[in-house]
Structure 1
Amino acid sequence: MKVFAIRLKPNEDLRQSLKNFANQENIKAGFILSAIGSLQQATIRFANQDVSTVLTDKFEVISLNGTIATTGVHLHIAISDNKGKTLGGHLDNGCIIYTTAEIIIGTSQEFTFNRTFDGQTGYLELEITRNYL
């Protein structure tokens, strides 16, 4: 496993920055090991919803999980507000960093992650290919 550590700065878009990083580093099969930080805006698609919700306030990033590759990212986020209320869902473009985001990404040379259309779900879903080294 190879490990990357990145820090995002104020006003950067969390999802877009991770997509750009995957392309820059040519990540074929990555996954989030750890992520903390803060947002000044959160754009999240909640369970079983067709459109994302934009929340404008200050939030702590409690958790970020999922896969990252040059072929796409699929990430879920949990955030909390200034009263500790926590909510989460599918990370979308428009999650804007407030002070920082500290993210540790692991990668595997053993696999390649692709996103292919799944007729059963109607979404681009993870397709895992094992690389024989």
Structure 2
Amino acid sequence: MKVFAIRLKPQDDLRQSLKNFVKQEDIKAGFILSAIGSLEAAKIRFANQDVSTVLTGKFEIIALNGTIATTGVHLHIAISDREGKTIGGHLDDGCIIYTIAEIVIGASEKFTFNRTFDQQTGYQELEIIEQNSVVRSQNPELILYD
């Protein structure tokens, strides 16, 4: 596994910056290990909604999770406001850094992550391509190494 650490600056767009970094480093199967920082605007798509919501104000980044690759990113974010109220959902373009964002990214060299249309969900979903010999478990979502 490779590990990358990046620091985003004020006015950077969180999602766009991560997409650019993934392309720059040619990350085929990445994931967020750690993320903290602050936002001055957030654009989040809440569960089972078609449209994202724009939030203004100052927010702390509490969590950022998901997969990132040159083929696409799928990230969820949790943020808190000045009273500590926390909200989260699907990270969208338009989350603008206030002071900084410190992000640590892991990248697997054993997989490639693709996004392919899933007829059951109607969305582009994660497709895991194995690069080395593996043993599949009975659960198709779980991959075990030999």
TM-score by length of 1: 0.99
**DSSP-derived class of the 1:87 partner:** strand
Cα deviation, residue 35, structure 1: 0.0
| Counterpart check, 1:36 vs 2:74 | no
AA partner of residue 36 (structure 1): I
**Deviant stretches of 4+, over 6 Å:** none
Aligned twin of 2:104: 104
Query: Matched residues in 2 for 1:9 and 1:83: separation?
Result: 24
CA RMSD, Structure 1 to Structure 2 (Å): 0.7
Structure possessing the higher radius of gyration over alpha carbons:
2
Query: Matched residues in 2 for 1:115 and 1:57: separation?
Result: 33
Query: Matched residues in 2 for 1:44 and 1:76: separation?
Result: 9
Give a deviation string over 1:38-70, Cα, whole Å, max 9, x none: 000000000000000000110000000000000
Query: Where do 1:1-133 residues align within 5 Å?
Result: 1-132=1-132
Cα deviation, residue 132, structure 1: 2.0
Cα deviation, residue 102, structure 1: 0.1
AA partner of residue 77 (structure 1): I
* Paired positions, count: 133
Cα deviation, residue 98, structure 1: 0.2
Query: Matched residues in 2 for 1:132 and 1:74: separation?
Result: 24
Give a deviation string over 1:4-57, Cα, whole Å, max 9, x none: 000000000000000000000000000000000000000000000000000011
For structure 1, which runs of at least 5 residues remain unmatched after alignment?
Answer: none
Query: Matched residues in 2 for 1:112 and 1:73: separation?
Result: 13
Structure with the larger RCO, 1 or 2 (CA within 8 Å, 6+ apart)? 1
Query: Matched residues in 2 for 1:93 and 1:119: separation?
Result: 25
